[in-house]
Amino acid sequence: MLQRAFEAYQSGNPKQAETLCREILATRPEDQVAMLFLAMSLDAQHRTIEAIQLFERLTVLSPEQAENWANLGTVLRAAGQADKAEQAFRSALERDGADANSLFNLGSLSFDKGNYGEARRFLLRALETAPDDAAIRVLAIAACFECADFEQTDQLLVDWERWATGNVEVLTDLGWTLTRLTRAEEAGRALELAAQMMPNNTRVDLRRAAFYERTNRVAESRALLKQIPQEALDRVGLGTDATILRADLAARGDDLEGARHLYEKLVVDADLVRRDPQLPSQLARVCDRLGDPASAMMWLVHGRALHLAQLRERAPQIFEEGADPLRIIRQPLSA
């Protein structure tokens, strides 16, 4: 019956799998395989609370099994319980320090919180365990970039068109990191390929619109952003990213007051500013153009202090004695 339950789950019939698992558990209530399949089936039906309860039960019955903790972490994270998910993944790592799934999830959770140094460490460890996993690689690239580890970033990017082109999400995230690295030609290729693979995808389209803004294709950026429904952006958690892009576009035009209003709404979110420390400087630039030097200076000082504090955390190597982080400005230029 277990085999039938598994086959039902695999064939996309979680309700039937649930029924079969419950029949097994009625006579063998401690059957952990049936419990696992039941939890997976409930999760597939979006019955998250019931699934979490079963995954928790499995960690009680077999606390030494790293997989049980990793499964619990996965469903907790999907349910938006990030702190509890982190605890579960750390418990999985205590039992299996080379579990790529737990390392990746911990890296991803750290990245979401703006803890890029910790994210980089977890993700590079995950990549050692699963070197062919494109999702791990692309997030590790982003974390290395955030930590100003450009040598490692370049190494991980080698031959990206071979390992990234089969996955829309990987291409989208890679395209955005390439955009921020000012590798515009490659970024454009990655994002356009993602758009061809999945037309009218909210995440892809927003990253393309942001790429257009970054590469001075402002009219195209505005047109594409206007086509993306706000409810679609909110549904995939990109509402704030869209607001940042709207502020950037407003600042490029003649709507400086609108840009200031949007930036001022953004910078009050401390977690957001931690993830994007350039926001206060962008607000300062708008204030300066509006003829408000006092506010501009205030935001510049605030942004500078935040940025330096984060650099000390993310890239301590550039503050070491003998470091030369601004060597590029000493390169001579011809007339």
pLDDT, one tens digit per residue, over 117-151 is 999 999 999 999 999 999 999 999 999 998 888 89
Spatial CB neighbours of 18, under 8 Å, sequence gap ≥ 6: 38, 41, 42, 45
State the maximum Cα–Cα separation within the chain, in Å, rounded to a whole number.
85
Q: pLDDT tens digits, residue range 241-279?
A: 999 999 999 999 889 999 999 999 999 998 888 888 889
Sequential DSSP letters for 195-223: HHHSTT-HHHHHHHHHHHHHTT-HHHHHH
Q: Is it the case that residue 51 has pLDDT exceeding 90?
A: yes
Confidence check: pLDDT of 293 > 70:
yes
Q: What is the pLDDT of residue 255?
A: 94
- The percentage of the chain sitting over the pLDDT mark of 70, rounded to a whole number, equals 98
Mean pLDDT of 44-70: 95
Tens of pLDDT, residues 172-208: 999 999 999 999 999 999 999 999 999 999 999 999 9
> Rounded to an integer, what distance in angstroms lies between the CA atom of residue 175 and that of residue 54?
39
Q: What is the pLDDT of residue 334?
A: 81
Per-residue pLDDT band for 9 (boundaries 50, 70, 90) equals confident
Compute the mean pLDDT over every residue in the chain, rounded to the nearest whole number: 92
Residue 308's pLDDT band, with cuts at 50, 70 and 90, is confident
Least confident of 70-74, 118-122, 126-130, 236-240: 236-240
Band of pLDDT at residue 329, cut at 50, 70 and 90: low
Categorize the per-residue pLDDT at 5 as very low, low, confident or very high, splitting at 50, 70 and 90: confident
- Asked if residue 328 has pLDDT above 70, the reply is no
**pLDDT value at position 25?**
93
Count Cα atoms within 13 angstroms, Cβ side, for 164: 27
Q: CA 48, CA 74: separation in Å to the nearest integer?
A: 11
CB 126 within 8 A of CB 136: yes
pLDDT (0 to 100) of residue 332: 77
